[in-house]
Structures are given as structure tokens and as C-alpha cells.
Amino acid sequence: MSREKPTLAVFKFASCDGCQLSLLDCEDELLAVTDRIRIAHFPEATRTRIDGPWDLTLVEGSITTPEAAEEIRQIRRASKFLVTIGACATAGGIQALRNFADVEAFTRQVYAHPEYIETLATSDAISQHVPVDFELRGCPIDKYQLIEVISAFLYGRRPQVSSASVCEECKRAGQVCVMVAHGTPCLGPVTHAGCGALCPGCNRGCYGCFGPKETPNAPGLSGQLETLGMDRATRVRFYRTFNAGADAFREESERQESGAAPPEESGNRP
């Protein structure tokens, strides 16, 4: 008797759908994957809906409402493995900027009847609500890394996704460091690899789309940014973009905002 194909479910919460589109953009690679796996739920691609439990679930988007918080708990219970994809799901996304402000004040200013709005005070990563088996970073994610994650699941191994920084990608590509050569502010030293050093390859600084790398030294980078002439308010905004809610970027932006001294162990190296 042949073994049934494992099931794949894809869900989204507060996000732009870009990471799901990265999966659809795989085209030929996606066809090869669907030959080995059965899509049980993926509204971007099919109307088919197969109720759980599911073998592998991909989740895009952040949790911003009480309903979403309950739904992700239900999805977790129905999923053997749960993988979060993209900056929204792994760090709260650009919408995590609300975490630094008064959300009730926003709703009063924007909506004629704010009493109808039911929302959380923060935009949360999925891992803040349920256990997650793997986090794939990026805004949007890299489609080849996504295929690697799905393939790893099929073969029962851990995904081989680099934990290095964007700087290493720059070096491998033989690109000149924009910060050293041109004095261009760049988050590359503290940012997770995955984009292929796209922006530095165009003589622009990294914007941190893939979030903080493992053990980043953000205070050390901030010292270099100050040396380059970036004022404190600009440094705060520099860390508060796609991954504003990621711990390392959030903590450093708050430290910059408060004017606190850097930790002694940070040194000068990012």
C-alpha cells in the first residue's frame, strides 16, 4: 500500500501576502514540490480545503487581534510542524511600529467609531503566542530558502539555512563594503543573510530586511553609525523598519532613544 503524501497548509495573518507570493514564484520548483506533497489549504493558490491535522504548516503575518491569537492556537494544535515565514511572522513586521506608540490614540484619530475596533496593543511574532518549529526570515523571504525548508521537511532533516550576516554574502560576491569605502550607513553587519547582499550590490546600505543575525552586536554598529555622522533620532529610525519588533533591533532602538550607554561587552565590532 502506497503511503499518502504529507499535507501542506499555508495561512496568513497581518501581512502583505508577499511571502506567499514568493512560494508561488517558485514555479518549476513548486511543481516538483507538489509532486511530493499535497496542498491542503492555500487560498492564494487553490480553493481546495482539507481539514487538519496537517503535516507541515507555513504561516505568514503577525498577530494583531484577539481573533488572530485564538486562530493561531487552533492552527498550532492541528499542525505537526509549524514554520513561520517572513518578517511579519518572525518579528511582527513593519506594523510592529505600533509597539512603540499608543494604539488607542491611533484608533481615535483614524476611525469615526473607535469603539468598534478590537485590536491588540502590539503586533506580535507568531512565536510569542505558540511554539514554532522553524523561523524563515526575510521581507520577503527568499524562495530558494523556502524550497530548502520544505525539502528538509520531506526528508526529515533540519533546514540548511545560513545564519551568517549580509556582510559574508558581500564578501562572497566580491563586492566592496559600502560602509568602509563610501561611508554609507548599512545594517549588513548585524543582518541575517538571505538576500544575496542585494542592496550593497547596488551601492546602497542594507536595510535589515532579513532581521538580526545570530548574536548581532547592534550597539557596536551604532557606534560606527555615529562615527559616520548619523544622529541619534536617525539611528532609532534605522532599526525600526521591517524588523522593528525583532529583539536585537528593538532593544537597540530603545537604547538609542533613551540615550543609555552601550553594554561594556559590545566593543566596536558589530
From residue 135, give the alpha-carbon distance in Å to each of 4, 51, 82, 164.
27, 24, 9, 15
Whether residue 111 contacts residue 119, with contact meaning beta carbons closer than 8 Å, is answered with no
- pLDDT of the chain, 270 residues: tens digit per residue: 346 889 999 999 999 999 999 888 887 777 777 778 899 999 988 888 999 999 999 999 999 999 999 999 999 999 999 999 999 999 999 999 999 999 999 899 999 999 999 999 999 999 999 999 999 999 999 999 999 999 999 889 999 998 899 999 999 999 999 999 999 999 999 999 999 999 999 999 999 999 999 999 999 999 999 999 999 999 999 999 999 999 999 999 999 999 998 886 555 555
Q: Which residue has the cell 522593528?
A: 244
- Alpha carbon distance 52, 79 (integer Å): 7
Q: What pLDDT does 46 receive?
A: 85
From residue 122, give the alpha-carbon distance in Å to each of 60, 65, 125, 138, 237.
17, 9, 10, 20, 18
Whether residue 125 contacts residue 92, with contact meaning beta carbons closer than 8 Å, is answered with yes
Strand order in the sheet with 134-136: 38-41, 7-12, 54-60, 79-85, 134-136
Q: Which residue has the cell 524562495?
A: 143
- Alpha carbon distance 189, 155 (integer Å): 33
Q: What pLDDT does 2 receive?
A: 43
Q: What pLDDT does 24 receive?
A: 85
- Give Cβ neighbours of residue 52 (< 8 Å, ≥ 6 apart): 9, 40, 75, 78, 79
